[in-house]
Amino acid sequence: MEIVYVYTKKRSDFGRPCNFSERAAEVAVDIAPDPGAAAAFVPRNPVDAHVQHASDMSEHEVNTERVEVETRGVNHTEGGWPKDINPHEMEQTIRFRKKVEKDENYINTITHLGTLMEHCIKQNNAINIYEDYFGEEEMAEVEDEPPSAKTINVIRDPNITKRTATHLSWHPDGCKKLAIAYSSLEFQQNLKDMSFDSYIWDLENSNKPELVLKPSSPLVTLEYNPKDSHILAGGCYNGQIAYWDTRKGRLPVEVSTVEFSHRDPVYGTIWLQSKTGTECFSASTDGQVLWWDIRKLSEPTETLVLDITRKGLLENALGAISLEFEPTMPTKFMVGTEQGIIITCNRKAKTPPEKITGTYSGHHGPVYALSRNPFYPKFFLTVGDWTARIWSEESKESSIMWTKYHLSYLTDGCWSTVRPAVFFTTKMDGTLDIWDFLFKQNDPSLSLKICDEPLFSLRLQDNGCFVGCGSKLGTVTLLEISSGLCTLQRNEKTLATAMFERETRREKILEARHREMRLKERVRSEARGEEGKEETPEESSPELLERVRSEFLEAIEAERRRRAQAEARR
């Protein structure tokens, strides 16, 4: 049954604006003064009076119990069908609908609701409450405000024995939830009473974690699945990979077997862009990159040994401490190593040696962070030792831009998701630096002292306005960045591209010059060596020793004669 109602009304008959016009003033009433009316009043003296209207109050204090709020959720699925009807079978649902629509009670209910709906539709069409009356006027440009950030929340490790917040992961559907991995990475510092738990926090109720994750070993990394926000993958301190489904509770759904897992802590876990949304890969300091399908974690689907000599030997492999994957480049990924070398890889290469396509070397210590620019993926950021460096894939001998050498060690970094010229770094002295190299290259645009202990992890929310910083003692500070640092500026993409390309060209010119100088020096040294061989005949070892001995004795004799002459003059 369908309710059809057609009504016609001119637009000019409703929502008509008021028309105002100018006209001369008119006198409505004119009351003349009457001096004789003053005789009916008596002057009052004095005319000041004070009245206190406030009632007497006594102050009392009471300490009430804190209300603990617990969040509960409901998974809604299509329901209301009888038990004998399968909602996934189209024929059964259509047959049941036809049966219900013939019911008299159903027709009466729809008729009643149709009248109410008709009234709402008419009311809605009478006037557009969302009409933009001044859409043609341009908004006045807001003056540039100085860069700033404000703390909106602080989340602390609920355990007595504090652990490092090693990794942060924002919920894919917004900034209301944050998954935090906690573990102690100091060698042999795991105490007996140290908890293995990691947590998912609801930022609107941060007094208590929304869900406690119970791994078999402390989690070093923890990542939300971008395709299914109920699924999380974690890399453990003992090298295992585990995944959770928040709908199934706190225990992992499946854990990889120890025999086929990493041998060292898993420092990087990233979800891949696949049709099933169940594939991920991991990297560890044992020198391996492993690919997994969470539907079968008993063994990895693929393995790569990070041996840059391309022999595939695990004893020559470089330990991976950071991992980078850009979804727009599905076959390429990058690995930052403990030795300060960045390895670029191609997963689809035919043989394992061909999978390692190149290396970049420029840091004096481990590469703690590795991130491609979200706007220009061929440029990437690395953080290690005391500097952050920006590289171009076209220039492998050195980075195209870098920060000054800081007094404190850098621990993490990432690009802004909304501005191509802005990136973030954290340091061991508890400072968060926000760099805008279009505005300033030598110093950060904003430097914030977050805490007294070292900052260890950093993660920016996808909208670019919220950033989380995890510290060594497990405290995660959430900051809201000022609009100037998270709003794309006019011509910023053009200016950033121009700067990247200019620095790349400059670095290529310098590389060519250095190669030329090295070649000249090699030719010059070889020429000197040949001349030396022609001029001086080779001496045997005894002859050389005798010549040096005689020269030494002659020098001593000359010094004696000089001293004797000096004594004679005195």
For residue 161, which amino acid is it?
A: T
d(CA 302, CA 299): 9
CB 382 within 8 A of CB 411: no
d(CA 104, CA 34): 79
d(CA 67, CA 61): 18
d(CA 336, CA 348): 20
The separation between CA 355 and the C-alpha centre of its own chain, rounded to angstroms, equals 27
Q: What is the pLDDT of residue 145?
A: 75
The 446-449 sheet, strands edge to edge? 410-415, 422-427, 431-436, 446-449
Residue 355 within any structural domain of the chain: yes
Residue 4 within any structural domain of the chain: no
Residue 130 within any structural domain of the chain: no
Residue 31 within any structural domain of the chain: no
Tally of structural domains, the chain: 1
Residue 102 within any structural domain of the chain: no
Q: How many helices (H) and strands (E) does the chain have?
A: 5, 28
Task: Mention every residue, 6+ apart, whose C-beta is less than 8 A from residue 420.
Answer: 373, 374, 375, 376, 492, 493, 496
Q: What is the pLDDT of residue 469?
A: 92
Structure tokens of 277?
A: 């949304």
H-helix or E-strand spanning residue 181: strand 177-183
Residue 532 within any structural domain of the chain: no
Q: What is the pLDDT of residue 142?
A: 43
d(CA 173, CA 146): 30
d(CA 246, CA 254): 13
Prior bond of 46 cis (ω within 30°):
yes
Phi-psi region of 503 (alpha: psi -120 to 50; beta: other; left: phi over 0): alpha
d(CA 115, CA 3): 10
User: Which residues, given as ranges, of the chain have pLDDT below 50?
Assistant: 137-143
Residue 331 within any structural domain of the chain: yes
CB 457 within 8 A of CB 444: no
Burial of 284 (0-12, 13-18, 19+ CB in 10 A): buried
Residue span of the structural domain in which 463 resides: 149-489
Give me the DSSP letters along 502-570: HHHHHHHHHHHHHHHHHHHHHHHHHHHHHHHHHHSPPPPHHHHHHHHHHHHHHHHHHHHHHHHHHHHH-
d(CA 481, CA 489): 15
Q: What is the pLDDT of residue 221?
A: 92
Find tokens 């060209």 and name the residue.
Answer: 505
Query: Hey, which bits of 298-438 come out as E strands?
Result: 302-305, 320-325, 332-337, 341-346, 356-361, 367-372, 379-384, 387-392, 401-402, 410-415, 422-427, 431-436
3-state secondary structure of 371: strand
d(CA 368, CA 119): 63
3-state secondary structure of 349: coil
For residue 267, which amino acid is it?
A: Y
Burial of 444 (0-12, 13-18, 19+ CB in 10 A): buried
3-state secondary structure of 107: helix
Q: What CATH number has the domain bearing residue 319?
A: 2.130.10.10
Give the CB-side neighbour count of residue 170, counting CA atoms within 13 A. Answer: 18
Residue 174 within any structural domain of the chain: yes
Task: Mention every residue, 6+ apart, whose C-beta is less than 8 A from residue 209.
Answer: 158, 199, 200, 201
Q: What is the chain's length?
A: 570
> Rg of the chain's alpha carbons, rounded to an integer?
38
Could you report the per-residue pLDDT of 520-534, keeping only the tens digit for each?
A: 888 888 877 666 555
Other CB atoms closer than 10 Å to residue 213's CB: what's the count? 25
d(CA 356, CA 353): 6
H-helix or E-strand spanning residue 234: strand 231-236
